[in-house]
Amino acid sequence: MTGLFLALAAVLLTGFVTLTLLSPGRPAPLRDADGNVIPGSLSERVTVEIGGIPQGMFIQSADPANPVLLFLHGGPGMVEFFMEQ
Q: What is the pLDDT of residue 34?
A: 93
For residue 59, what are the domain limits? 2-84
Element holding 17 (H helix, E strand) = helix 2-22
Q: Mean pLDDT score of the chain, rounded to an integer?
A: 82
Torsion angle of C-alpha atoms 18, 20, 25, 30, degrees rounded to 10 = 40
Phi, psi dihedral angles at 69 (to 5 degrees): -100, 110
- Cα 16 to the chain's mean position, in Å? 15
pTM: 0.50
Average pLDDT of 1-24? Answer: 85
Supply the DSSP symbol for 35.
S
More confident residue, 48 or 25: 48
Domain tally, the chain: 1
12-21 pLDDT tens trace:
999 888 877 7
